[in-house]
């Protein structure tokens, strides 16, 4: 699993139901009360079949309460036009442009945390996020692959400026193969996720800042289209125009990552630190 049970079960008092392809590896923090060993999707489906009308639906009221709070948080800045743009606002604008079956490919960085938490997904396999080894630079080539496999669906990639530069040469591949992906850069001139962790742990940052090239000219040098967001209320318009180009597009959009530490403060020490 992504997070050790010692974070979310520090006292060893949680009642755990283990559903997996393999038996549990039991330790002090992970001692299942019940184990279901088998195909995860099939196991959940079978369990669902045994929940009948006698099930006390009020037991799920706590989940509905938190669902409302999560949705309120997601839509907090839907109509905020400040500049640089807040992460929540950028994801709202992306969702307004993308269809239910369109595909978003996320690179690795601070933006990935926001996408995982707040990008509303309506269909399976329409939001692809690199977890596990979480290699930076996956978005641009990943977007090319997604477009080749799904030529009729629109594909957008989201990268930080650091991750984008790690595989920017793949723009040549996109142009040569004729895969018209839209590549949105959340630009702030830092390795944002590393800086976020440094701020949280130490209260200051070191070695995270860098200078960017002109992303528009860089895109054009590969034969792609370059665009830039210059104010807080035109990202949606630019995204719409980008999808009409029928060529690979790079969009440079400044992001306000002051929201990172605000999110950490709101979460406090719930479950796992960022």
Predicted local confidence at residue 268, as pLDDT: 64
- 85 & 32 share domain: no
- 151 & 108 share domain: yes
- 139 & 222 share domain: yes
Query: In 10 A of CB 163, how many CB atoms?
Result: 29
Predicted local confidence at residue 47, as pLDDT: 87
- 43 & 109 share domain: no
- 114 & 219 share domain: yes
Could you give the 3-state DSSP secondary structure of residue 5?
A: helix
Q: What is the pLDDT of residues 21-78, one digit of tens each?
A: 999 999 999 999 999 999 999 999 998 888 765 556 666 677 787 888 888 889 999 9
Give the pTM. Answer: 0.83
Predicted local confidence at residue 73, as pLDDT: 86
Calculate the alpha carbon distances from 161 to 180, 181, 222 in Å: 20, 17, 17
Calculate the alpha carbon distances from 178 to 224, 232, 238 in Å: 10, 31, 21
How many structural domains comprise the chain? 2
Predicted local confidence at residue 64, as pLDDT: 80
Determine, yes or no, domain membership for 72.
Answer: no
Determine, yes or no, domain membership for 248.
Answer: yes
- 167 & 44 share domain: no
Determine, yes or no, domain membership for 65.
Answer: no
- 47 & 106 share domain: no
Give the torsion sign (CA, 206, 163, 79, 69).
negative
Predicted local confidence at residue 132, as pLDDT: 80
What are the start-end ranges of the H helices in 98-138? 110-118
Longest dimension (CA), the chain: 65
* 23: containing domain: 5-55
Predicted local confidence at residue 38, as pLDDT: 94
- 82 & 28 share domain: no
Determine, yes or no, domain membership for 60.
Answer: no
Determine, yes or no, domain membership for 212.
Answer: yes
Predicted local confidence at residue 270, as pLDDT: 52
φ, ψ of residue 241 to 5 degrees: the values are -65, -35
Beta bridge partners of 183: 157, 250
- 12 & 51 share domain: yes
Cis peptide before 84 (omega within 30 of 0): yes
Cα dihedral 114→60→57→55 (10° resolution): 100
Query: How many alpha carbons fall within 13 Å on the CB side of residue 47?
Result: 12
- 186 & 92 share domain: yes
Can you tell me the distance from the alpha carbon of 77 to that of 86, in angstroms, rounded to the nearest whole number?
Answer: 8
- 122 & 191 share domain: yes
Can you tell me the distance from the alpha carbon of 141 to that of 227, in angstroms, rounded to the nearest whole number?
Answer: 20
Looking up residue 244, the CATH number of its domain turns out to be: 3.40.50.970
State both tokens at 99.
Answer: 């269809």
**Residues of the chain below pLDDT 70:** 1-2, 52-60, 268-274
- 131 & 185 share domain: yes
């Amino acid at each position: 699993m992504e997070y050790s049970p010692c974070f979310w079960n520090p006292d060893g008092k949680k009642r755990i139901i283990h559903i997996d392809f393999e038996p549990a590896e039991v330790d002090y923090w992970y001692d299942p009360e019940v184990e279901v060993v088998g195909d995860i999707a099939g196991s959940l489906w079978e369990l669902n079949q045994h929940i009948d009308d006698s099930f006390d639906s009020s037991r799920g009221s706590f989940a509905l309460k938190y669902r409302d709070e999560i949705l309120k948080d997601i839509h907090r800045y839907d109509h905020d036009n400040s500049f640089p743009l807040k992460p929540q606002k950028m994801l709202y604008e992306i969702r307004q442009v993308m269809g239910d079956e369109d595909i978003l490919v996320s690179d690795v960085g601070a933006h990935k945390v926001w996408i995982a938490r707040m990008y509303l997904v309506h269909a399976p396999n329409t939001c692809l996020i690199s977890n596990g080894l979480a290699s930076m630079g996956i978005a641009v080539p990943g977007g090319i692959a997604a477009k080749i496999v799904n030529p009729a669906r629109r594909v957008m990639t989201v990268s930080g400026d650091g991750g984008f530069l790690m595989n920017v040469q793949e723009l040549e591949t996109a142009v040569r193969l004729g895969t018209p992906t839209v590549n949105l850069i959340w630009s702030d001139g830092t390795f944002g996720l590393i800086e976020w962790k440094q701020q949280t742990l130490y209260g200051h940052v070191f070695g995270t800042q860098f200078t960017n090239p002109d992303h528009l000219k860089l895109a054009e040098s590969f034969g792609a289209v370059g665009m830039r967001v210059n104010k807080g209320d035109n990202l949606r318009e630019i995204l719409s125009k980008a999808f009409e180009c029928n060529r690979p597009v790079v969009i440079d959009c400044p992001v306000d990552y002051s929201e990172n530490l605000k999110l950490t403060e709101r979460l406090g020490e719930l479950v796992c630190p960022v």
